[in-house]
Structures are given as C-alpha cells and as structure tokens.
Amino acid sequence: MSEFKSGFFVGGESCNGRVLVVDDEPDIRKVVRMTLQKAGYDVLEAENGEKAIETINYGENRLLLDVIICDIRMPKVNGIEAIAYFRQNYTRVPLIVLTGFPDTDMATALLRQGVVDYLVKPVEGEKLKASVARAMEQRELAHL
Amino acid sequence: MTIISPTMSHPQAENQGSEPAPASPPMRVAIIGAGRGGMALLDVLHQISRIQIVGITDQNSSAPGLTRAQELHVPVYDRVTDLITHQGLNLVIDVTGDPAMESVLREEVPAGADVVNGQTARLLWVLVQHESTLQTELLHAEKLAGIGSFAAGIAHDMNNPLQLILGLAENLTDEPDLEAVHLQAHDIIDAVKRTTAICRDLTSYSRRSSLRQDCLIGVGGKLDEALKIARYAVALQDIEIRKLYQPDVVVKGNPDELLHVFVNLITNAVQAMEHHGTLTLETHAMADATQIRVSDTGSGIAPELLGRIFEPFFTTKPPGKGTGLGLYNIKNVIHHMNGTIGVDSQIGRGSTFTLTFPSESGADERTTSS
C-alpha cells in the first residue's frame, strides 16, 4: 500500500521518509542504514560530500529527500563544505551531524546555522531515531 | 639547498654545504679516553658545528667510544702521542683519570694547545652528560606535546568502530537470523581489534625513546609506520601519497627517534599543503650515502626563513599550534646518527627535506628494526 509522507509518495511502499547518510566509513553507513531501515526509513548512502551533492541532485531525490545525516571529516568535499551547500540549495531539508570528534565550537556554529542535531559517535539507535524523527517533524513543518 | 650538518669534518657536508661559513675556524679538539666519559663528550661535541674533533684514543681497543667514533667518522688513534701532536690542535681533553697521562701531556702537547684534565675534565664530562639527558628529555617532551594534536584523529578512529560495535550489538538483541548473528559478531570482533590497534600504535609511539639502542632500521617500513601515526595529527584523505622506496634501504640509529623524525616531517608537509596536494616519500641507497626525502607541494618556506627553521623555538605556526622544537629536535637526532638534513623550498611550489646518512654495509650481519 502506498503511503503519503512528507507530502510525497515514496516508491509505492510503506516509508517513514527518505534519509541520506553521508560518511566515508562504509561500516558507519551500514549500521545507520540498519537502524533506520528497521524504523521504516528509506536510506540512501554517499561516501563523501561530493557524492552526497550528486545524490541529492539526482532525479526524484531533489524532491523526496527528507533528512541528511552527515559526517564532518571526509575526503574530497568534507562535511562542513557539504553542509554549506545543502543549507544554501536545499534549505528545507533538515540536517543532522554525526561525527567522531566532539568539537564544541563547531557544534555551536552548526546548530546556529540551523542543523537539527549534532551527534557524536557512538550514538545509540534510539537517540539516532529520535533525532531523525525530530528532523522529519521539521521537514513536515517546512511544507506547511 | 640549506644543509645543516653536525661537524665541519663530515665529508658530505663539505661537498654539499651551502650553509654560511662560520665566522671563525672551528675549535680543534682531541679526546683521550673512550670510556663512558669520552663517548659522552664525543656524542655532544660532535653535534656542535664550531667544534671539530680531530681524533680520539684509548689504551683499551674495545672501549665503546672507539666504536662510536668509527660510526661518526671521527679518526681513532692507536697512540696518544700521534693524536696530541696533531697539527693545529686547540684543545686536548683527557678523561682517562690516569695520573701518568698528565706528564705525557705536559711534555708532548704542542704550545698553543690547552689541556683539560683531572677534576676539570670530570666536571666537563658531568656537564656533557647533563646536556645529553636534557636533549633526550626535550625530544620526549616535544613528542608528547605533539600527541595533543592527535585528539581529532584518535577520536575519529576510535569512535567509528565504536559506532559499528554499538549499532551491531543493538541489532543483535533482536536479530532472528542466526547466520546474520554470526556475521555481525565477527564484524564486532574485527572492530574491537581495530580499536585496540590504535591504542597499541599510540602507546608505542608515546613511550620514551630507549637509550643507546642504535641498530639498523629499514627506512621504508619506518616511513610507513610514520604515515600511520601522522594520520592522527593531520587529515591525509585528500593527500596523494607517492612512495618511491628503493628496496632494502637501511640507516643506523634509534628506531623510536627516527620514527619521531618521520612523523614530524610528514605532519609538517601535510600542514603546509592545507589538506590538498602530493606527499612524496623517497629512499635512495647510493655507494657512499643513503638519502631519504620528504617532499610536499605546499606553500613553501620564505627564503629569509630557511636559515632559521632549525633554531629552537622558531615557528611560523600560530600560537598554541607548534612548540618550535620539532625541526630543532629532528636536527639533533639526525646529527646523532651522523647524518645531515637539508631543505629546498620554493614559495607556492613546496618543500623537500633531504636526510643524508653514511651508507651502512653489512646490514645482514646486524639486528634490523623495521
């Protein structure tokens, strides 16, 4: 049965939303995908900021992407550069930072820029899901 | 190229040296006695460019200082009289403590040369040992200060496997598929092993350099080890790394200290490139010398600063980002290994640090550390 979420139909299957996970570590993408898929999210992956920008600009993702979870320390286009791009070009897509390095100054600056959450690895599944759920609420509010 | 060499007597330094000539000729010193005192004097005086050690001698042909002198290419004399009548000698240091030596020196040392012996020589020996201890402490302190900058890299490398472990463990609590359980359990084990390897590398790197443990070191392996450590201090993801290693290149020295030298040079090179560029690591074994080059395509060093970069506390980094002791300590370690360090640099094009050591033959007969 098709389900209406975030104002869009997604793939004809039940889906709580579409999440893009940007991290250079395949292991991290794997566990985040595992956690979020169990919670009913459709998960896309990108291995760095450059790929993330390609992914969000590809086909229906432009419209259907609900949340971006982004690492900071990555090759090519790093998290800071990628987030700046998303904030400028996809203002309605909420962003969650998931980083291995806690940096208070960076966290403050990113939260001021409108990032929904700044999570430091390792983060529990429940906390990650709660953060994505908050981001989804923000996403839906943006469509009102 | 600016070359910083330990002594004027070093053959390679004479060939390559474009370092400004000292204002006055070096003091020419002879050392009598090659036990612990003579060897300590040799090690420290050898590093001072204003001092030329013309030779060393000892009645005991197996005295440790004589072996060290051969490593440093300092002439070893069989007879005291041959040494102390050396042309143009300025100073004779007698650390034998042998009262009979005093009369020999009084009669044979030419006019114009001074003699330091007895309690004065002993005092000099104590001061030199103190200096040697300070150098070792300084090297260790600078290394520990550098480890502070590893925090971001360590956190990244620890927290990523921890995220995997936590995510998989959470999943296992309700995973019905037994095969998936087994696979994920193995992933957890691998992640734990990766995490412990980080701790092992850093614990090993941060330990105090073992004293007097010179051995033959495989240079390529040591450069690879340094890359592993340096990646905690600087992001290497966007750096192209070119390894031009000639096989089986070895140098003689302290492996812990050489690792520290390589980590510092690689870290500096990557910082100069601001995360984008090419890092080239080269090793060459030539007939009479071994060369190691660390090159970057970074910002380069201004010509007016090139002559100062090996000075203690000289840094171009912002306050809190560098101790200013990195290259100074590197120079001391290289000189201790009887090597030279030189730098070529062009603003906007990058820098190349070249380490040159006397070639080591008979590598297969001695202990090799990689």
Q: Can you tell me the distance from the alpha carbon of B312 to that of B304, in angstroms, rounded to the nearest whole number?
A: 17
pLDDT(A4) > 60: no
Closest-CA distance, B314 to chain A, in angstroms, reads 29
| Contacting residues of A for B235, CB less than 8 Å apart | 73
What pLDDT score does B169 carry?
96
- In chain B, the residue whose alpha carbon lies closest to the alpha carbon of A28 is B164
The answer, for A73 touching chain B at a CB cutoff of 8 Å, is: yes
pLDDT score of A19 more than 90: yes
- Interface check A74 vs B, CB under 8 A: yes
Structure tokens at A50: 């450059």
- Whether A121 and B159 lie within 8 Å, measured CB to CB: yes
CB-CB under 8 Å, A120 with B167: no
Selected residue with higher pLDDT from B136 and A134: A134
User: What is the pLDDT at residue B366?
Assistant: 38
- The closest of B30, B84, B36, B91 to B56, measured between CA atoms, is B30
The predicted pLDDT at position A11 comes to 46
More confident residue, A23 or B209: A23
CB contact under 8 A, A101 and B167: no
β-strand partners of B239: B277
- Is residue B118 packed enough to be buried (19+ CB in 10 Å), middle (13-18) or exposed (0-12)? middle
Residues from B in contact with A at Cβ < 8 Å: 151-152, 155-168, 170-171, 187, 191, 235, 237-238
Residue of chain A whose alpha carbon sits nearest to that of B237: A75
Helix ranges (DSSP H) in chain B: 11-16, 36-45, 64-71, 80-84, 99-108, 118-147, 151-172, 178-206, 219-233, 255-273, 303-306, 326-336
**Per-residue pLDDT at A3:** 40
Q: State residue A7's pLDDT score.
A: 38
State pLDDT tens for residues A32-58.
Answer: 999 999 999 999 999 998 999 999 998
Using a CB–CB cutoff of 8 Å, tell me whether A21 touches chain B: no
Domains of chain B, start order: 2-116 (3.40.50.720), 152-206 (1.10.287), 211-369 (3.30.565.10)
- Residue A28, chain B, CB below 8 Å: the answer is yes
- Chain B residues lying within 8 Å of A76, measured CB to CB: 237-238
How far is C-alpha B153 from the geometric centre of its chain's CA atoms?
Answer: 24
- Beta carbons of A73 and B152 less than 8 Å apart: yes
Q: How far is the alpha carbon of B196 from chain A, nearest alpha carbon, in Å? A: 16
A101: nearest CB among B155, B163, B170? B155
Confidence at residue B370, expressed as pLDDT on a 0 to 100 scale: 46
Q: Is the C-alpha dihedral spanning B268, B270, B273, B274 positive or negative?
A: negative
Residue A125: list chain B partners with CB under 8 A. 166-167, 170-171
A19 to chain B, closest Cα gap in Å: 17
Return per-residue pLDDT of chain B as tens, 370 residues.
666 665 433 333 333 333 444 567 889 999 999 998 898 899 888 888 789 999 999 999 889 899 889 888 899 999 999 999 888 899 999 999 888 898 888 888 888 899 999 899 889 988 988 888 888 888 888 888 778 778 888 888 899 999 999 999 999 999 899 999 999 999 999 999 989 988 888 888 887 766 556 789 999 999 999 999 998 888 888 899 999 999 989 999 989 999 999 999 999 999 999 878 999 999 999 988 999 999 999 999 999 888 888 888 788 776 666 677 889 889 889 988 889 999 999 999 999 999 999 887 544 333 344 4
Global ipTM: 0.85
Q: Distance (Å) from the C-alpha of residue A7 to the closest C-alpha of chain B?
A: 30
Of A27, A101, A102, the CB nearest to B164: A27
Q: Do B159 and A31 touch (CB under 8 A)?
A: no
A33 to chain B: nearest residue by CA?
B167
C-alpha–C-alpha distance, residues A94 and B261, integer Å: 45
Which chain B residues are closer than 8 Å to A32 by Cβ? Answer: 167
Q: Give A35's contacts in chain B (Cβ within 8 Å).
A: 167, 170-171
Please choose, from the candidates A19, A10, A99, the residue with its C-alpha nearest in 3D space to the C-alpha of residue A52. Answer: A19
B59 Rama class: left (phi>0) / alpha (psi -120 to 50) / beta? alpha
C-beta pairs of B58-64 under 8 Å, 24+ apart in sequence = B58/B32, B58/B33, B58/B34, B58/B96, B59/B96, B60/B34, B60/B35, B63/B33, B63/B34, B63/B35, B63/B38, B63/B39, B64/B34, B64/B35, B64/B36, B64/B39
CATH of domain A15-142: 3.40.50.2300
- Looking at residue A144, its pLDDT comes to 59
Whether the Cβ atoms of residue A22 and residue A82 lie closer than 8 Å to each other? yes
Minimum-distance CB partner of B160 among A100, A102, A103: A100
Q: Across the interface, do B170 and A124 touch by the CB < 8 Å criterion?
A: yes
Domain boundaries of chain A, sorted by first residue: 15-142
pLDDT computed for residue B277 by the predictor:
94
